[in-house]
Amino acid sequence: MDFESQIKQWITNDPMRMKALDLTAQMFKELEVDDWYIAAGFVRNLVWDKLHGAAESVLDDIDVIYYCNEETSVYRDKLIELALAEMASFPWSVKNQARMHIKNQHPAYTSAKDAMSYWPELQTAIGVKLDERGDIAVESVFGLPCLFNLTVNYNPKADESVFMERVASKPWFNEYQNLSLEL
């Protein structure tokens, strides 16, 4: 199975996800920011829902990440969230990764992809966006097999206690019975 093509097909067939990608692409084109993705549960949950034959889970948030050194204020992120919310009442969560290393106590990130490389579990470090031609681009820091193999793996670059807190607090193992935890 070509995992990337499968993700693209599932997203293409999901009107809400396509609308979120289109609106986000429009927003960052206006802001002249090329380094952005919708990441985390936006992709992860879709894949796990499909592999479990489950109804699509409700997204608590749509994690929009971007990297821009020129303006790193939380205020800018909130303005982007508000602008996106005016276009569609989705649960937007926008974060400029150029400042998130401070909160997470990591070395400074160099890009949105670099920021994802520090996320606690490998399966969450996957983002999608629309490229300049309007095609879906998939960025997976650790590859797609671990997501399709239905495992939850600790990222050695991350704080293990944060990983364990996320595993305990997320409903993953209740919602997706075929998942297994691999440390």
> What confidence tier does 56 reach under pLDDT thresholds 50, 70, 90?
confident
Mark 151-181 as b/e (b = at least 16 C-beta within 10 Å). bbbbbeebeeeebeebbeeeebeeebeebee
* pLDDT tens by residue, 105-124: 889 999 999 999 999 999 99
Q: Over 80: is that where the pLDDT of 183 sits?
A: no
Higher-confidence residue of 131 and 1: namely 131
Q: Find the mean pLDDT for residues 20-33.
A: 97
> How far, in Å, CA of 60 to CA of 68, rounded?
25
Q: Over 80: is that where the pLDDT of 48 sits?
A: yes
> How far, in Å, CA of 24 to CA of 162, rounded?
29
> How far, in Å, CA of 38 to CA of 34, rounded?
13
> How far, in Å, CA of 81 to CA of 162, rounded?
26
> How far, in Å, CA of 68 to CA of 144, rounded?
26
* pLDDT tens by residue, 120-157: 999 999 999 999 999 999 999 999 999 999 999 999 99
What pLDDT sits at residue 177?
94
pTM for the full predicted model: 0.94
Q: Over 80: is that where the pLDDT of 12 sits?
A: yes
